[in-house]
């Protein structure tokens, strides 16, 4: 099973941008689906965006138009470019992978958006 390590979180003002990275311990070329979830304080973990091994993407309404998910198979890394950030985007962001061996999660990276 793959191990996932997120990075790129931090504190940013509303309207700013951050790029999250998720580095996998193995090749991601054949991983069916990778993506990002987030969990705000006191709330359940929710989907942000997904990308398949053929590059198809899915976004939630809150992410559509502001966030961009991408994957670099050569670097075994998935990215989440987040623009026009809002205070309600404040959460711990988790990388996710799903393939034939099951699901895997990273440890999370914290994003705080100040107003």
For the chain, 115 residues long, give each residue's pLDDT as a single digit of tens. Answer: 899 999 999 999 999 999 999 999 999 998 999 999 999 999 999 999 999 999 999 999 999 999 999 999 999 999 999 999 999 999 999 999 999 889 999 999 999 999 9
Contact in structure between 5 and 106 (CB atoms under 8 Å): yes
- Cβ neighbours for 84, distance < 8 A, ≥ 6 positions apart: 15, 17, 66
pLDDT at site 30: 86
């Amino acid at each position: 099973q793959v191990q996932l390590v997120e990075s790129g979180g931090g504190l940013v003002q509303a309207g700013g941008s951050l790029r999250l990275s998720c580095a996998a311990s193995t090749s991601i070329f054949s991983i069916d689906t990778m993506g990002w979830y987030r969990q705000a304080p006191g709330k359940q973990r929710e989907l942000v965006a997904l990308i398949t091994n053929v590059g198809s993407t899915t976004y939630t309404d809150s992410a559509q138009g502001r966030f961009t998910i991408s994957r670099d198979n050569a670097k075994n890394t998935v990215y989440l470019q987040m623009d026009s950030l809002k205070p309600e985007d404040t959460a711990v962001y988790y990388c996710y992978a799903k393939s034939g061996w099951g699901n895997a999660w990273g440890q999370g990276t914290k994003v705080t958006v100040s107003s």
